Structure 1
Amino acid sequence: MFAKNGIFETMNKLDVSVIISTYNQPIWLRNVLWSYEQQVFKNFEIIIADDGSSDETKAVIDDFILNSNLKITHVWQEDNGFQKTKILNKAILKSNAEYLIFTDGDCIVRQDFVDTHIKMRRPNTCLSGGYFKLTKAISEAITKLDIEQQNCFNKEWLLQRGCPKTFKLNKLTSFGLKAWFLNTFTPTKATFDGMNTSVWKKDILAVNGFDERMQYGGEDRELGERLLNNGVRFVQARYSVICVHLYHERPYKNEDAIARNKSIRKLTKRNKSTFTDFGIEQ
């Protein structure tokens, strides 16, 4: 009866869909999902874009579906090489909110991550976040308690465990005016980086999503370039929307694929392309 007069739909409308890409990193994904349990903003869903992981990853996801309050949808495709763009397009179609956050299954997010993306979103705008890269030793030492207590975002906690002391630690200590200043004057260009970015779903659909010809190496940047060509404004938020990146190797890195991707990106820029024929709709 609520749906008939619109009340049920209003009460249950999700503010954001968080799309998390993953491939055979069940321990890291578990840590990441723990971090979403800590979010101060609760009205979101998680779509896990799984590029062919084994049953071990499925077991982790199923456990969270059964035992946590997170709203999780697991979108899986058969393992046929690096097809991240393809599974992300499938995840986009499964999302139920008008606003999308894209991130990876190796990025633990701070408890204000979703909240800050929501507060900073604007019409016709894409937020460009970043990450703070952790060492292998720290990545492997992080516990559920560390995530619950937000230790992995604490500068002193990290330094005590051997984290290099660099300017990038400002990502973890910047709020308010300091964050605004660093976002505004950083020389780093605001781009579409799949580990931490957010945009309106309608804007993604307007450019036909990710180009499925592309494998690892700038595949997310190419989507961002089409968004930019289509009039979407990019806003730097790397000192405001915070995640820490867990260490891992990249065995899927392929120089031939990177070269092909660069060629596609070159055409996108030269032709000022706003649409790909190899995206969501083909």
Structure 2
Amino acid sequence: MPKLSVILSTYNAEAWLEKVLWGYCCQTFKDFEIVIADDGSGPKTKLLIEAFKKDYNLDINHVWQEDDGFQKSRILNKAIVAAKSDYIVMSDGDCIPRADFLEIHNTFKEPGCFLSGGYFMLPMDISIKIDKNDVFNANCFNVKWLKDNGLSSSFKNNKLRSKGFKSQVLNLITPTKPSWNGHNASGWKKDIVAINGFDERMQYGGQDRELGERLVNYGIKPKQIRYSAICIHLDHKRGYKTPESINKNLAIRATTRKEKLKTTAFGIHKNH
């Protein structure tokens, strides 16, 4: 049994998924499996995954469902069930992890807690420019390289420069509250299963936060690792983002908070 199960969501984004999988080839922590939560991609994604399993010896389990519109919550629940480890790291197929990403999650995990990381958002032109060499040589995490390729100066660039003591100080002083972020969060499988996973009524917009809110209601404490566990987010369009899905999800989250709900009837196990 691997020490960590990494769940990555994807949908017809092979170019981005390839860059992300290169990032997992470079991890200093090796005892992990990858569970691809595939929300209905075509055959190109399957071919890419098969090539990676062969060429890079990555332990990948491709969990796929028929394309039925944006059903990320449903495929994530299937991936949670499929995960072999008792500890789950969740990220996305558009987030390249720094080489110490999994080592940080493994080091900071503790019973009764979940870990809340962030991401560093890249513009589209730099996202496209990153190639295999830039991932394997960690250029894409180097502020100078990024600035040479058009990145603006910002306090947020500290995320990429932070390690050790500096990252711990920034974790303490950040005004951002720790929450379950689908691009960078981790927790114990038993806790996620106890709250019945993701609410499958929810489409795009905050379904990850709602899961975290139920974990907190269940008694699990969020722990900030925003400046420790680093991944870079490749830009993309969000055609599935609609006012209807946002408003529906906000209403579900409001109920979760108001009624202090610990579980959902619309999760891994259906009781409706």
1:210 to 193, 198, 205: 198
How far residue 175 of structure 1 moved from its aligned partner, in angstroms, is 1.2
Match of 1:193 in 2: 181
1:232 to 216, 220, 223: 220
1:168 maps to a residue whose letter is: K
Whether 1:281 aligns to 2:269 is yes
User: Separation in 2 of the partners of 1:169 and 1:134?
Assistant: 11
Describe how 1:92-171 pairs up with structure 2 within 5 A: 92-171=80-159
Q: Deviations over 1:60-109 (max 9, x none)?
A: 11111222111000000000000000000000000000100000000000
Describe how 1:1-282 pairs up with structure 2 within 5 A: 13-282=1-270
Return 5+ residue gaps in structure 1 as ranges: 1-12
Q: Deviations over 1:230-278 (max 9, x none)?
A: 0000011110000000010100101101111011001000000001000
- Give the ranges of 4+ consecutive aligned residues of structure 1 lying more than 6 Å apart after TM superposition: none
User: Separation in 2 of the partners of 1:69 and 1:62?
Assistant: 10
Instruction: Normalising by structure 1, report the TM-score.
Output: 0.95
Helix, strand or coil at the partner of 1:279: coil
2:178 maps to a residue whose letter is: A
1:43 maps to a residue whose letter is: D
1:16 maps to a residue whose letter is: L
Number of residue pairs matched by the alignment = 270
User: Separation in 1 of the partners of 2:235 and 2:258?
Assistant: 35
User: Separation in 2 of the partners of 1:185 and 1:125?
Assistant: 19
Helix, strand or coil at the partner of 1:42: coil
Instruction: Normalising by structure 2, report the TM-score.
Output: 0.98
Helix, strand or coil at the partner of 1:251: coil
How large is the RMSD of aligned CA atoms in angstroms? 0.6
How far residue 182 of structure 1 moved from its aligned partner, in angstroms, is 0.5
User: Separation in 2 of the partners of 1:173 and 1:121?
Assistant: 22
Q: Which of 1 and 2 has greater Rg?
A: 1
User: Separation in 2 of the partners of 1:77 and 1:52?
Assistant: 5
How far residue 164 of structure 1 moved from its aligned partner, in angstroms, is 1.1
User: Separation in 2 of the partners of 1:165 and 1:87?
Assistant: 37
